[in-house]
Amino acid sequence: MTTITYREAVREAIRNAMRSDPRVFLMGEDVGRYGGSFAVSKGLLEEFGEERIRDTPLSESAFVGAGIGAALGGMRPIVEIMTVNFSLLALDQIVNNAATLCHMSGGQFGVPVVIRMATGGGRQLAAQHSHSLEGWYAHVPGLRVVAPATIDDAFGMLPTALEKPDPVLIFEHALLYNVKGELPDGAGPTDLDRAIVRRTGKHLSIVTYGGSLFKALDAAETLARDGIEADVIDLRTLRPLDDATIMASVARTRRVLIVDEGWKSGSLSAEISARIMEQAFYELDAPVARLCSAEVPIPYAAHLERAAIPQTDDIVAHARRLVARNV
Amino acid sequence: MRPFVSRTHALELLRAMVRITRFEEKCIELYSASEIRGFMHLYIGEEAIAVGVMNALTPEDAVVATYREHGHALARGIAMGPVMAEMLGRQEGVSRGRGGSMHLFDAATRFYGGNAIVGGGLPLAVGLALADKMTKRNRVTCCIFGEGAVAEGEFHESLNLAALWKLPVLFVCENNLYAMGTALERSESVTDIHQKAASYGVPSEAIDGMDVIETEDGAKRAAEQVRSGAGPVFLEFRTYRFRAHSMFDAELYRDKAEVERWKQRGPVKTLVERLEASGLGSHDDLAALEAEADAEIDAAVAFARAGTLEPVDELARFVYADAAQDARLATIVHTGGR
């Protein structure tokens, strides 16, 4: 058992993959000499050299597309985009190429590219560096979308993603990089298919992922002191969604609060809510509740930003209301 | 200096061009009869580029083309039957009927589409070339696009990256003067396109795209230069599309006299005239090659018509290459929405 940060877990995962498979390389803005804008790739240039730790120009579309092309050409690229906000400059490549080529070619060409990016707010970086747009990507067939929240998954999802013959988008919440945790000895690849119940309870299910997971677990701790026991589900994978785990939890608790740092309108939380209606409507004792970011561009000022993003005390308040409510 | 061409080779070039022209004329017929649907973009007038460029490539090289790619696919050596079957939406088609006219793919000849987002193929070509360079395979990736793509950011990003990393990409710009209905001088501040490549330090050249002897010679020289490891090369072929942009285009943006002027320089016409002038061939050769092409086309149409429709149950196949995932998503499609 070692104590490491989330950042170090991602770095070790990249290092291991690069050591074990010569097809793997890392490419992105400032991943080399700078060490990564979140310092994830620090030290990798020294170990692997410029050929395999490739600094790119500020050309998101070209280097993401080049990652897709290199994957078509037999490589296993890891493309780092600094944040999801900048990924919009590469949206064409991700949505029109990575997601379509396999189907559109009648199954002739898989696209085994891994695209990592930071997501989320909470660092007073204002509206162009703070958004949570992973739900958009989860809309798109042909992509796999995952959001590792724990040290285990930060370390274990990347190697599994690299094994997939399809494009995998990995969303790393920017506030998680400094989080410390235990990585068990012999920790290895983790799956990209299942949600995990991180805490069990019988009174409500809190469904969340990524940066909101620890807020939800903290909230569950507070609620437990009042005798409210929450199931906390870490979605882990946003596409495909693990319906079975969600529905099994709903069947036990009969109340659901979805916590998502994305906006509410047309969102991942809306999708999960709809699936619960379709698959578990008669299990519910109360309407599905959602706690999402306020429908505003995330602002700079600390008090406004805090108010815009779901916080632990908001989760507690929503959970209490949900448990008190009866149909 | 004009390269020397034997009668045999000249007839090979003519045969390759005539196949494309006649194939597309048949496509128009089938489109009118509603057997082909969707968007269909014709290449007639530009045949010399596909033929010249594909002759410069080896089977190990890769091709990334545009949605006006029937000519490239045929010249690359993809069998005509499966190409036609694709146009008819049959599962015997090159893309199992999932792509249609704009999305012909073929792993065997390393033909990576059929890409219908203008400019979107350039980064893919850069990546394919990067894979070759990193694995020390001496292969060329040929990236074809129209002059309309030059206005896209992806064009500039890709040229820069290919030049910066000295990647083996042969950039082939088919400058047919119109991006759909927008004339080049109405969309570009600098209309001399190959100069833009030069601004990234990419060796570039403008070539008469109506003369197949020139296109082949230029493409061969450029491909050899790319193969030598010096980095990308950019060719601008000056050409003209004789037909409308797509089957939905009423051609209100250009006058008929202009089209007629270019037709006088048509690639087939130009080559036949040259054969006659040099005593190497005649119109009889053309007629023979057309008859030969027509027979192949008839067989391709018969193959396509005899093709089958993929069962709707297989709709969700190939969304993912990962078979286990595929099965799971198929379940979602079938239970989630119905």
| Summary mean pLDDT of chain A | 97
pLDDT above 70 for B220: yes
Residue A191 forms part of a structural domain: no
Find the length of chain B. 338
Q: Assess contact for A150 and A195: CB atoms under 8 A.
A: no
Task: Give the domain-ending residue among A137, A159, A183.
Answer: A183
Q: Assess contact for B239 and B174: CB atoms under 8 A.
A: yes
Task: Give the domain-ending residue among A183, A208, A237.
Answer: A183
Provide the pLDDT for residue B246: 85
Are A93 and B115 a contacting pair at CB < 8 A?
A: no
3-class state of residue A205 by DSSP = strand
The domain segmentation of chain B, as residue ranges, is: 7-307
- List the single residue in A with minimal CA-CA distance to B329: A240
Place of tokens 């004329």: B25
Using 50, 70 and 90 to split pLDDT, how confident is the model at B123?
Answer: very high
* pLDDT tens-digit readout, B77-101: 999 999 999 999 999 999 999 999 9
* pLDDT tens-digit readout, B141-175: 999 999 999 999 999 999 999 999 999 999 999 99
Domain count along chain A: 2
pLDDT above 90 for B213: yes
* pLDDT tens-digit readout, A63-101: 999 999 999 999 999 999 999 999 999 999 999 999 999
| Summary mean pLDDT of chain B | 94
Same domain, A130 and A85: yes
- Is the backbone of residue B8 left (phi > 0), alpha (psi -120 to 50) or beta? alpha
Rounded Cα distance between A103 and A9, Å, is: 34
Are B127 and A165 a contacting pair at CB < 8 A?
A: no
Task: Give the domain-ending residue among A183, A206, A224.
Answer: A183
Same domain, A70 and A211: no
Residue B327 makes CB contacts below 8 A (sequence gap 6+) with none
Residue A80 forms part of a structural domain: yes
Rounded Cα distance between A124 and A171, Å, is: 19
**Range of lowest pLDDT (A105-114, A127-136, B316-325):** B316-325
Q: Assess contact for A162 and A17: CB atoms under 8 A.
A: yes
Backbone angles phi, psi at A182, to 5 degrees: -95, 130
Same domain, A163 and A241: no
Instruction: Enter the tokens of residue B6.
Output: 């034997």
Q: Assess contact for A81 and A94: CB atoms under 8 A.
A: no
Same domain, A154 and A229: no
Catalytic residue among A60, A80, A261, A305: A60
3-class state of residue A239 by DSSP = strand
Where in the sequence is the domain holding A315, given as residue range(s)? 196-324
Same domain, A76 and A149: yes
Average pLDDT in the B26-32 region?
97
* pLDDT tens-digit readout, A210-229: 999 999 999 999 999 999 99
A64 contacts chain B (CB < 8 A): yes
Residue A189 forms part of a structural domain: no
In chain B, which residues have their Cβ closer than 8 Å to the Cβ of A108?
95, 105-107
Same domain, A90 and A24: yes
A129 is catalytic: yes
Backbone angles phi, psi at B146, to 5 degrees: -95, 175
User: Which CATH number belongs to the domain containing residue A239 in this structure?
Assistant: 3.40.50.920
Average pLDDT in the B184-194 region?
94
User: Which CATH number belongs to the domain containing residue A27 in this structure?
Assistant: 3.40.50.970
Residue A96 forms part of a structural domain: yes
Provide the pLDDT for residue B328: 64
Closest CA–CA distance from residue B280 to any residue of chain A (Å): 42
Same domain, A27 and A150: yes
Residue A232 forms part of a structural domain: yes
A74 contacts chain B (CB < 8 A): yes
Average pLDDT in the B192-217 region?
96
Residue A188 forms part of a structural domain: no
- At the top level of CATH, the class of B7-307 is alpha beta
| Rounded percentage of chain A residues whose pLDDT exceeds 90 | 99
Rounded Cα distance between B134 and B129, Å, is: 9
A68 contacts chain B (CB < 8 A): yes
Are B328 and A240 a contacting pair at CB < 8 A?
A: yes
Provide the pLDDT for residue B337: 35
| Rounded percentage of chain B residues whose pLDDT exceeds 90 | 91
Average pLDDT in the A297-320 region?
97
Same domain, A216 and A127: no
- List the single residue in B with minimal CA-CA distance to A60: B157
